[in-house]
């Protein structure tokens, strides 16, 4: 896995990323991360847009030890490379517009896809985000798959991405009334990307290449 990356220009030091579920961490987990940063790194931590926490400045020879320390405390590491990246979610459970508990759904996606597919290498990174309403606060429209709550269920946004070539996710025609059906569709989207994606091609580019109608039929399980 590519959880350890070079830190800056110095090849002698590495960073270890802690995978979080939508950036939610307990006080105890934060203490463990702080201890790891002081013991193995420079004492500094950094967060990223996915809400994962990076511990930089770890001597290359001690990165495995740092990972083991974190994993033993129940903190998975990874969050980089050609994998499903840590799920993000808005704050719907505390928002008057929220149509679902985004924390609960993010937890399911975290367990099932982020951790469940942790060792699976994909054509490129794959981001999933949960929104409690169509307002896009956690930017599900700029993720490979965005799950947004709408009246009557869930709609998926397919193929968004940020970066130099911005793509807005395409909303599925279908509203998934049932959560399990929606999650099965997300799984089919990842499977399609794994099977048919070209190296370094993002999911949005695959949709452009194969056609949105075909992709939506595939992820709906209709073909
Ligand atoms: S996306 Fe909707 S539910 Fe989530 S924080 Fe924004 S306004 Fe609230």
Give the global pTM: 0.93
Confidence grade of residue 2 (pLDDT, cut at 50, 70, 90): very low
Distance 99 CA to ligand 1 centre (A): 9
Atom of ligand 1 nearest to the CA of 136: 1
Tell me the mean pLDDT in the region 153-181. Answer: 96
Least confident of 70-74, 80-84, 158-162: 80-84
Pocket test for ligand 1, best of 95, 103, 130, 148 (most atoms within 8 A of CB): 95
Domain with CATH 3.30.70.3340 in the chain: 4-72
Q: Is the pLDDT score of 152 beyond 60?
A: yes
Tell me the mean pLDDT in the region 56-77. Answer: 96
* Contacts of residue 4, Cβ cutoff 8 Å, sequence gap at least 6: 14, 15, 16, 63, 67
User: What residue owns the CA closest to ligand 1's atom 6?
Assistant: 137
Domain with CATH 3.30.413.10 in the chain: 88-219
Binding site membership of 131 for ligand 1 (Cβ less than 6 Å) = yes
pLDDT at position 1, please?
40
pLDDT at position 106, please?
97
pLDDT at position 50, please?
81
pLDDT at position 221, please?
87
Atom of ligand 1 nearest to the CA of 133: 2
Mean pLDDT score of the chain: 93
Binding site membership of 100 for ligand 1 (Cβ less than 6 Å) = no
pLDDT at position 4, please?
47
Q: Which fold has domain 4-72?
A: Alpha-Beta Plaits (3.30.70)
Q: How far apart are CA 135 and CA 130, in angstroms?
A: 11
For 88-219, CATH number out of 3.30.413.10, 3.20.10.10, 3.40.462.20, 3.40.50.720 equals: 3.30.413.10
Give Cα 120 to chain centroid, integer Å.
Answer: 13
Evaluate whether 48 touches 14 at the Cβ level (below 8 Å): no
**C-alpha dihedral (37, 41, 46, 50), degrees to nearest 10:** -80
Please report where in the chains the tokens 């597919």 appear, as a residue.
117
Tell me the mean pLDDT in the region 175-181. Answer: 96
Distance 44 CA to ligand 1 centre (A): 31
Q: Which position has the higher pLDDT, 80 or 53?
A: 53
Q: Which position has the higher pLDDT, 191 or 12?
A: 191
Q: Is the pLDDT score of 7 beyond 60?
A: no
């Amino acid at each position: 896995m590519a959880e350890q990356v070079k830190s800056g220009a110095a090849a002698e030091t590495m960073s270890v990323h802690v995978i979080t579920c939508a950036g939610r961490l307990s006080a105890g987990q934060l203490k463990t991360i702080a201890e790891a940063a002081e013991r193995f790194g420079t004492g500094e931590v950094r967060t990223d847009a996915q809400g994962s926490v990076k511990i930089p400045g770890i001597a290359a020879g001690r990165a495995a030890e740092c990972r083991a320390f974190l994993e033993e405390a129940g903190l998975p590491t990874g969050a980089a490379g050609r994998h499903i990246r840590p799920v993000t979610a808005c704050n719907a459970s505390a928002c008057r517009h929220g149509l679902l508990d985004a924390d609960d759904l993010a937890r399911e996606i975290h367990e099932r896809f982020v951790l469940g597919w942790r060792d699976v290498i994909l054509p490129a990174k794959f981001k999933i985000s949960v929104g409690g309403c169509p307002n896009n606060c956690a930017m599900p429209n700029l993720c490979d798959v965005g799950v947004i709550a709408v009246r009557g269920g869930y709609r998926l946004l397919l193929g968004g991405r940020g970066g130099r070539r911005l793509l807005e996710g395409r909303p599925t025609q279908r509203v998934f009334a049932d959560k399990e059906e929606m999650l099965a569709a997300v799984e089919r989207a990842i499977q399609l990307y794994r099977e048919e994606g070209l190296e370094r091609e993002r999911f949005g580019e695959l949709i452009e290449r194969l056609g949105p109608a075909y992709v939506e039929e595939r992820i709906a399980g209709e073909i």
